[in-house]
Amino acid sequence: MKSADFAYHRPGDIAEAVRHLQDYDGGARVLAGGQSLMPMINMRLWRPDAVVDINGLTDLTGLTVEGDETRIGALVRHSTLEFSPLVAERLPLLKAMVAFVGDRQVRNRGTIGGSLVQGDPTGEMPLGCLVLGATVHVLGPSGARAIAMEDLYEGAYAATLAPDEVLTEVHVPPHPPHFAFRECCRRHNDFCVLSVAATGPIADDGRWRGLRIGLGGVNDTPVLAEASMALLEGSRLDDADIAAAGQAAREAIDPPDDIRGSAEYRAHLVPLYVARVLRDLRASAHA
Ligand SMILES: Cc1cc2nc3c(=O)[nH]c(=O)nc-3n(C[C@H](O)[C@H](O)[C@H](O)COP(=O)(O)OP(=O)(O)OC[C@H]3O[C@@H](n4cnc5c(N)ncnc54)[C@H](O)[C@@H]3O)c2cc1C
């Protein structure tokens, strides 16, 4: 199918991009990698009046370190995250997760900003950024503001950005020393049935404190398994604690029924995958 007609703008700076978005009063969409936007437009599921192509905004392509934060420009491609030595060193969880995003073509074009605004509940980058405690920075007509990942979504595919705001940068605090990630997919690199990511430090006494466990694909948005995290505070991650944390993770879920799996199947998998990821985490610390 072909798209309906739309106006096309290619701004030279971010302020101009915001002005174009404002001019269409909610009727324009930002175009980044186009991997989600263009299929939606071509299938006429979305019919924007205008597309504002931000691919010329080189200010949004940086990967930098500021103090103890790692900053990722909105236009950084998935493949850049995949192969960047800086990301490998400072954000190994994101590096591990981004390899599961689509296929090579999708990763060559798709961007972190697009992934975060798209807000697919199964998306790897929204889950990774949530678990790492990242903050997204956006610019709109009334200036810049920061949104914690916990507050970025009000539902599936529903980021809390205004239609005339552009996501400019993702700020990621220091990465905990240990991490683990797994996802269940029907086919390699398909959108996942569910995914689990965990990070944490282990103290000299062998106890884990400040563990973060995130779940993708089992609710409208990626979620933290708060009950499991609380239960594991000060734990040595022995098998009994891990099993209990797996069961407790069910409190965070409200799984969908869809083409990739039933709600019942997802609910069955959650404790198993949480337990596997926690065993991986424990093993990584003892390696
Ligand atoms: C075959 C296929 C398989 C895929 N598999 C996966 C997968 O396994 N896991 C996964 O996570 N994703 C997957 N994707 C989606 C992919 O990750 C996309 O790259 C991503 O969802 C959107 O990024 P994009 O840069 O292409 O954004 P676009 O498609 O350009 O935009 C997506 C949305 O975000 C908005 N937007 C984009 N950038 C900004 C910005 N800076 N500020 C404000 N709004 C913005 C757009 O207006 C649009 O609403 C797949 C896509 C395809 C086509």
The one-digit pLDDT tens for each residue of the chain (287 residues) are: 789 999 999 999 999 999 999 999 999 999 999 999 999 999 999 999 999 999 999 999 999 999 999 999 999 999 999 999 999 999 999 999 999 999 999 999 999 999 999 999 999 999 999 999 999 999 999 999 999 999 999 999 999 999 999 999 999 999 999 999 999 998 877 899 999 999 999 999 999 999 999 999 999 999 999 999 999 999 999 999 999 999 999 999 999 999 999 999 999 999 999 999 999 999 999 88
Contact between residue 162 and residue 140 where contact means Cβ atoms under 8 Å apart: yes
* Boundary (domain end) residue, out of 133, 157, 172: 172
- Measured from the CA of 109, which atom of ligand 1 is nearest? 26
What is the 238 CA–ligand 1 centroid distance (Å)? 39
Output phi, psi for 96, to 5 deg: -65, -40
Whole-number pLDDT of residue 2 = 86
Asked if the structure places residue 2 within a domain, the reply is no
What is the 243 CA–ligand 1 centroid distance (Å)? 35
Contact between residue 60 and residue 74 where contact means Cβ atoms under 8 Å apart: yes
Whole-number pLDDT of residue 280 = 98
Contact between residue 274 and residue 225 where contact means Cβ atoms under 8 Å apart: yes
Gap between the Cα atoms of 125 and 216, Å rounded:
10
Gap between the Cα atoms of 272 and 151, Å rounded:
28
pTM: 0.97
Dihedral (Cα; 120, 93, 131, 148), 10-degree rounding: -80
**In one letter, which amino acid is 41?**
I
- Measured from the CA of 54, which atom of ligand 1 is nearest? 41
- Domain around 43: 7-53
- Residue 203: CATH number of its domain: 3.30.390.50
Residues 80 and 135 in one domain: yes
What is the 287 CA–ligand 1 centroid distance (Å)? 36
What is the 29 CA–ligand 1 centroid distance (Å)? 12
Domain count across the chain? 3
Residue found under tokens 């939606």: 40
Name which residue sits closest to atom 37 of ligand 1, judged by CA: 114
Asked if the structure places residue 23 within a domain, the reply is yes
Whole-number pLDDT of residue 187 = 85
Residues 80 and 34 in one domain: no
Whole-number pLDDT of residue 61 = 98
Residues 107 and 148 in one domain: yes
Contact between residue 193 and residue 269 where contact means Cβ atoms under 8 Å apart: yes
Residues 132 and 207 in one domain: no
* Boundary (domain end) residue, out of 125, 156, 172: 172
Residue found under tokens 């960047």: 84
**Which two structure tokens, joined as six digits, stand for 72?**
């990722």
Asked if the structure places residue 1 within a domain, the reply is no
Whole-number pLDDT of residue 243 = 98
Q: Where are the alpha helices (DSSP H) in 124-262?
A: 124-131, 226-231, 239-248
The best mutation among 24, 29, 100, 101 to test binding of ligand 1, ranked by most ligand atoms within 8 Å of the C-beta, falls on 101
Gap between the Cα atoms of 198 and 280, Å rounded:
9
Say how far residue 178 (Cα) sits from the centre of its chain: 19
Gap between the Cα atoms of 209 and 128, Å rounded:
19
Q: What is the CA radius of gyration of the chain?
A: 19
The best mutation among 13, 18, 31, 36 to test binding of ligand 1, ranked by most ligand atoms within 8 Å of the C-beta, falls on 36
Pocket of ligand 1 (CB under 6 A): 29-37, 54, 74, 101-102, 106, 109-111, 113-115, 117-118, 120, 123-125, 161, 166-167, 189, 191
What is the 106 CA–ligand 1 centroid distance (Å)? 9
- Measured from the CA of 39, which atom of ligand 1 is nearest? 53
- The Cα diameter of the chain in Å comes to 63
What is the 115 CA–ligand 1 centroid distance (Å)? 4
Residues 21 and 121 in one domain: no
Whole-number pLDDT of residue 188 = 79
